[in-house]
Structure 1
């Protein structure tokens, strides 16, 4: 009986403020590329924007574990709806502080590409989204966090179909890069 050899998996993080299409895009791309995606686990762990630092720490751990687990199941590429940097941003916005463990968790996963989704699509309210009036500020914050870490990213804007085309091209580049499977 042969043992399955783990193949390298490219990780693509869809990044940006609320209501820019991350979840929909991650789900659709995972289907198209016959792989899995990692949703934003906070949506399963909290039901309102009333949460504590303990909740934030729990979200950070759960998001990290979800990515690590999905990486084992992914077919060459893994699409992630968010990352722990996002958890840090929202912790700071809602609670005025960031638990240090979130910076440690951030170091556990390196993404092969970040896609910063622009705010040029309509904001859609739901049970958790409540910062539509701060979209420009949040977009600047998300971009600043990537720049501060010297993380390369592709800024993607336009219609949903234009965004999808651009991200597909990036995914194809990751899959066709030297050393990829």
Structure 2
């Protein structure tokens, strides 16, 4: 679809909309359920809708991300077009000259297409419609139908998490990565934390790959053990690729915290353990989570489940993880003692992470 070149024939069921071209304008900082309800209201009454995302450059969510999120959320209504323009002009609803500046941004986004309806959930909607010689359509001005606003979301994303779409959640989620040597409780801890916070966790793909490689080996050599499994660089690249894909998928459905059993930085340590060094591609894939939890090996019995082969290397692995994480710029909390003590330490660290909140740059506000 280009511009407003959509007719009633493009609507479901042959419905004839009352407006040819509707306009929706906002910062969408970030997009939330109220925004989606507004756009959907316009889509039901218009043959075409243009949504103009118009933030200032001072804001801390990239414009391109907001445009992509809205396009994904409204992909089922192809007559809704989402475009983005930066609007760094001051906000002064009493100044006609300032109004002219903002409307110039919106007209540029429209590409010269006229509009005959302006849909808004803000008090300025009527004046905006007047300046476009369009019908003002007010939708849920008092926020009763969908009690949320961008200001409220920025102030407390957790309280409004259920009103955010999957890609917005994925952008906001705080990722907590649990790492440690073999049989030090990383999986147990990740699962326990996910249960405590009623959220998602991402299992360790490397363990799945180990089981698969061992099963394949045993088809040829039934007596093979995990000590016979071999590794190469491509295996560790696969681990990183699959682990991150699973993490990104989980982030879309997660609560405010997402718990990950290992990551690329940890995979580099495992690659060093098996191949003597870590590859540049694995190291380059490292991300920056919000928190690392390192499970110490001291006084933790080694449980040989048939997929583990490094009891003699646990102290070395713990030391390597300490060294690796020390210079990564991410907070690290070590977990020691029995499971209950470790879980209490981890919960305290995660609670502090949530209490710190999310930092957003202030949008431009009325003078």
- Alignment equivalent of 1:36, drawn from 181, 200, 218: 200
Contact preservation (8 Å) 1:18, 1:129: yes
User: Shift in Å at residue 24 of structure 1?
Assistant: 1.1
- 1:55 is the counterpart of 2:235: yes
User: Shift in Å at residue 105 of structure 1?
Assistant: 1.3
Q: 1:166 aligns to what SS in structure 2?
A: helix
RMSD: 1.7
User: Shift in Å at residue 51 of structure 1?
Assistant: 2.0
Please name the residue that 1:111 is paired with: 289
1:13-41, CA deviations, whole angstroms, 9 ceiling, x for partnerless residues? 11111111110111121122111001111
Q: 1:46 aligns to what SS in structure 2?
A: helix
Please name the residue that 1:163 is paired with: 342
Cα distance in 1 for partners of 2:242, 2:236 equals: 10
User: Shift in Å at residue 150 of structure 1?
Assistant: 3.9
| Larger Rg computed on CA atoms | 2
Q: 2:302 aligns to what SS in structure 1?
A: coil
- 1:175 is the counterpart of 2:354: yes
TM-score by length of 2: 0.46
User: Shift in Å at residue 178 of structure 1?
Assistant: 2.6
Which 4+ residue blocks in structure 1 deviate beyond 3 angstroms? 1-5
User: Shift in Å at residue 127 of structure 1?
Assistant: 2.3
- 1:92 is the counterpart of 2:272: yes
User: Shift in Å at residue 138 of structure 1?
Assistant: 1.2
Q: 2:190 aligns to what SS in structure 1?
A: helix
User: Shift in Å at residue 143 of structure 1?
Assistant: 0.3
User: Shift in Å at residue 103 of structure 1?
Assistant: 1.6
Contact preservation (8 Å) 1:38, 1:79: yes
Contact preservation (8 Å) 1:64, 1:105: no
Q: 2:234 aligns to what SS in structure 1?
A: helix
- 1:20 is the counterpart of 2:199: no
Cα distance in 2 for partners of 1:122, 1:88 equals: 25
Ranked by relative contact order (alpha carbons within 8 Å, sequence separation 6 or more), the top structure is 1
1:128-177, CA deviations, whole angstroms, 9 ceiling, x for partnerless residues? 21111122111111101111334321111010110011111111111221
Structure 1, unmatched stretches of 5+, are none
Contact preservation (8 Å) 2:289, 2:330: no
The total of aligned residue pairs comes to: 178
Cα distance in 2 for partners of 1:91, 1:127 equals: 20
Contact preservation (8 Å) 2:180, 2:318: yes
Please name the residue that 1:142 is paired with: 321
Contact preservation (8 Å) 1:13, 1:79: yes
Structure 2, unmatched stretches of 5+, are 1-35, 38-72, 74-163, 212-225, 360-367
Please name the residue that 2:14 is paired with: none
